[in-house]
Every structure is written in C-alpha cells, then in structure tokens.
Chain A
Amino acid sequence: MSSPHRGQRVAVVALAFALAAPIAAAHADPLVHYDVVDKAIPQSLTGVPGDPANGRKLVIDRARGNCLACHEMPIPEQDFQGTIGPDLKGVADRLTEGQLRLRVVDAKAITPDSVMPAFYRTDGLYRVADKLAGKPIFSAQEVEDVVAYLETLK
C-alpha cells in the first residue's frame, strides 16, 4: 500500500465521519493529501513557507516533537540529548527537502520497523490516549516549520 492511497483513505474516512457526526467533525483536522515520489514528498503540504524558528521550538518541546529524546541536534542549551537515532547535525547536506518531509510525516514509509514516530499520520495506531485520538502529532504547517528548521542544519 503506497502513501498516496493512505492519504486518500484518511480523507475518505474523515469525510464519512463528517457526514455522520457534524459536531465532532468541526474539531477534526483531516490530513491533507500528499504524493510520495522516490521516498520523498517533494511538494509542500500547505504551500506556505515553513517558519524555522517555530520548527526549532517544536523539535525541543517534549509534549510535541521531542526529537531530542532520540536525536542529538546542534541546540547547545538543551542538555541530555538522545542517542537512539543519528545525530542530525548536517542532515540537510545528506537529505533533500522532500526526503526530510517524508521522514517527518511518516518515517515508517522509509523504514517499516523504525522506532521513529510518524508525525503526520492518524491511521493504523492502537490505543492512542483519548485526548490525542484521531489527531496527528503535528499540523501540516508544523510539519513545514520542522522541515524548514531541518533545512538549516547544513
């Protein structure tokens, strides 16, 4: 199953939900459709340029990105950075913007058994905490902000 289909299926489910329960759907944030080309998402999810300063905040925030739990990043004021994934210093020299975007959106589309969470995905999950159920970790614009921040790591 390819990710474009996944995107479509999520949209269809969200639509069905909207018809069945208009009040709940007012709060739901259906995922935008995206195309995966050669293990990358070349197009921006929103068309609005990402804000690298907000991206930097999101990667630090323990309740949101919490990337430092697993990665070292050139953020010297944060102690105790994780050693589970690779050091992200210079990652933008290694990977294109589109590759970084798919990595953040759905790491398992690249490495199926990855421990890195999918930050923009809501399907195929089990026992998500009630208050987070049905919500991706990042909004589409936040994905763009984080990608914009990663782009500065050259």
Chain B
Amino acid sequence: MKYVIAGAMVAAGLLAHGAVRAADAQTGGDGLGKYIVGDKRSGYVFAEPDTRAMQDDDFQNPGMVWVEAGKQLWSTPDGAAGKSCQTCHGDAATSMKGVATHYPKFNPRVGKVIDLEQRIDMCRAKALQAKPYPWESHELLAMTTFIKNQSRGMPMNVAVDGPAAPFFEKGKESFYRRRGQLDLSCASCHETLEGRHLRADVLSQGQTNGFPTYRLGWQTLGSLQKRIKGCDKQMRADPHAFGSDEYVNLELYLAWRGNGLPVETPAVRK
C-alpha cells in the first residue's frame, strides 16, 4: 500500500516538474559521454530527452519506488532462521557496492552461472530459510533493483573466462540464433540494425546495464528476462521460462557486450 502511495506522489511530482526538466535536458549539453564507451552505447543514448530527464532525477524516476521497497526488505527479518539480509551483510551501501557489476556470475555451489535474482533467492533459501521470491514478484524486483542500485555509475564487469566460459559460449550462440516465425536473431535487430526505425522504435544495442528497468510501455518496472521474453514474442518465437539456463546464459552474453557501460538501475525506457 505504501508503494502505491509513493507511486502516486512520484506521478504528481512528474506533472509539476516535467516541463522544467525537459528544458534543462536541452540546455545542459547532450551529457551522453558517460553512456558511450568505445562502440558500446547504452539504451539511454537512444532514449527521448524527456525519458532521460525522468531517469536522471530520483524524485521523478518511478523506479526509485522499487529501490525504496528493496531497502525496507533488506533489513526486515524473514524465514525460519529469523534473520534479515542485514544480519550478515550489514549496510548494503558498503557490502553490495559493485556486486551487481559482476552478475551473472559463476557460482561454484550450483556449478553454473546464475544471475542476481537467483543469487538473492539462494541466500533467502539457505541463509534465511525463507521461501524464494517468485520471478517477477514485487519483492524480487525490489531487492534486485535495490542491490543493483548500490553499483549505480560503476562499470559493468562480468567475467566470461574460466568456469564461466562454456556458459558464455552458449549465451553467444543464443544471441546469434535465428528464431520464431519471423526468423530473426537478437543480433538482427540489436547489432545489424542499430539506430534504424522499427515502426515507432529506434533500435538500440539491447544493452542491459539499466535493468531492472522502468518501462513506460509496461507502466511498471521489469526484469531483463521479462524484456527478453517480450523480444522473443516480437519474433513470434516460443519464449523460454523465467530462470531457465537459456536466459541466464544469454544474460551473461548481453552483460559482457556491455562491459564498461555504467550501471543505470533503475533506468527508464519507453
């Protein structure tokens, strides 16, 4: 309930400040430098000035509602062990700083690469003895957004060598694999056609440094896997399940393509 109210306040603030911020964005230079690293371009670069302005201002950014919610959950005890995340990890601003830049990451306990969502649920199950948060639940999105937000501005830096290598190769194969009734690959749109118009959309590189992301089109915040499912559907392909190895390996490949881009979570996109 609290979040609903906070959301309404964000929306009200948006009406009041929208015009002013759009003007700022136009006069303040393009300010895009940090979102371009070599030939890597964040989705921010392709976004409308109004959308960028909304992301840049924490009072306007609707994704901050999830950061706040995650912060609450961090210190709230849950599960049979009677612990909270804070019990072991202390202040997230210190202990979680930079952590999300390395995810997806190889986890020796399960012998495969896992994403941040899965790492959170692993601590919930083992350390808190609590039920894992379901995929795309408000709680999992809130915790993921909160933890990744602790790395905001830091460069993405996933490892793809050593034990991660075979998972990276699978993700790469998936990125280039044509699929669906339209017989397209991720690369068709996000590599070959970068910058072109697909109907009303300008195709970006499909970078992931801003996830979980608030999408105006969804009118809510969503995970990277939700976005990938949406792209699979655009290709009229059968999407994989949330949490599937296929998607996690693909997430690793996508993150590597964006190594060096700053974490923007929570980004705002159309």
B198 contacts chain A at the CB level, 8 A cutoff: yes
B residues 189-217 near A (Cβ < 8 Å) are 189, 192-193, 196-200
Q: Are A127 and B238 in contact (CB under 8 A)?
A: yes
Across-interface contacts of A80 in B (CB, < 8 A): 197, 199-200
Q: Are A118 and B183 in contact (CB under 8 A)?
A: yes
B86 contacts chain A at the CB level, 8 A cutoff: no
- The 8 Å CB contact of A117, one of B181, B189, B196, is B181
Across-interface contacts of A137 in B (CB, < 8 A): 181
Q: Are A127 and B184 in contact (CB under 8 A)?
A: no
- The 8 Å CB contact of B196, one of A83, A118, A125, A135, is A83
B residues 76-99 near A (Cβ < 8 Å) are none
- The 8 Å CB contact of A126, one of B179, B188, B196, B198, is B179
- The 8 Å CB contact of A129, one of B178, B199, B236, is B236
Report how far A68 CA is from B193 CA in the complex, Å: 15
Q: Are B183 and A117 in contact (CB under 8 A)?
A: yes
Q: Are B238 and A128 in contact (CB under 8 A)?
A: yes
Across-interface contacts of B237 in A (CB, < 8 A): 126-129
B233 contacts chain A at the CB level, 8 A cutoff: yes
A residues 102-145 near B (Cβ < 8 Å) are 108, 115, 117-118, 124-130, 132, 135, 137
Across-interface contacts of B183 in A (CB, < 8 A): 108, 117-118, 124-125
Interface secondary structure of B, over-half rule: loop
Given known A117-B183, A125-B183, A129-B181, contact A84–B238 (CB-CB < 8 A) = no
Across-interface contacts of A115 in B (CB, < 8 A): 184, 188-189, 192-193
Number of A positions contacting B (CB below 8 A): 23
Q: Are A84 and B197 in contact (CB under 8 A)?
A: yes
Q: Are A69 and B198 in contact (CB under 8 A)?
A: yes
Residue of B at shortest CB range from A80?
A: B200
B131 contacts chain A at the CB level, 8 A cutoff: no
B17 contacts chain A at the CB level, 8 A cutoff: no
B134 contacts chain A at the CB level, 8 A cutoff: no
Residue of A at shortest CB range from B240?
A: A127
B182 contacts chain A at the CB level, 8 A cutoff: yes
Q: Are A70 and B200 in contact (CB under 8 A)?
A: no
Residue of A at shortest CB range from B189?
A: A115
A98 contacts chain B at the CB level, 8 A cutoff: no
B residues 92-149 near A (Cβ < 8 Å) are none
Q: Are A127 and B179 in contact (CB under 8 A)?
A: yes
B166 contacts chain A at the CB level, 8 A cutoff: no
B177 contacts chain A at the CB level, 8 A cutoff: yes
Q: Are B181 and A84 in contact (CB under 8 A)?
A: no
Across-interface contacts of A130 in B (CB, < 8 A): 238
The minimal Cβ–Cβ distance linking A89 to chain B, given in whole angstroms, is 16
Report how far A125 CA is from B179 CA in the complex, Å: 6
B230 contacts chain A at the CB level, 8 A cutoff: no
B180 contacts chain A at the CB level, 8 A cutoff: yes
Across-interface contacts of A129 in B (CB, < 8 A): 180-181, 233, 236-238
Across-interface contacts of B189 in A (CB, < 8 A): 115
Across-interface contacts of A118 in B (CB, < 8 A): 183
> Which residues from chain B sit less than 8 Å from chain A, CB to CB?
177-184, 188-189, 192-193, 196-200, 233, 236-238
Q: Please list 16 pairs of residues, one from A and one from B, whose beta carbons are closer than 8 Å in the complex, sorted by A's number.
A: A69-B199, A80-B197, A80-B200, A81-B199, A84-B193, A115-B184, A115-B189, A118-B183, A126-B179, A127-B237, A129-B233, A129-B236, A129-B237, A129-B238, A132-B236, A137-B181
Q: Which 5 A-B pairs have the closest CB atoms?
A: A80-B200, A117-B182, A83-B197, A127-B179, A127-B238
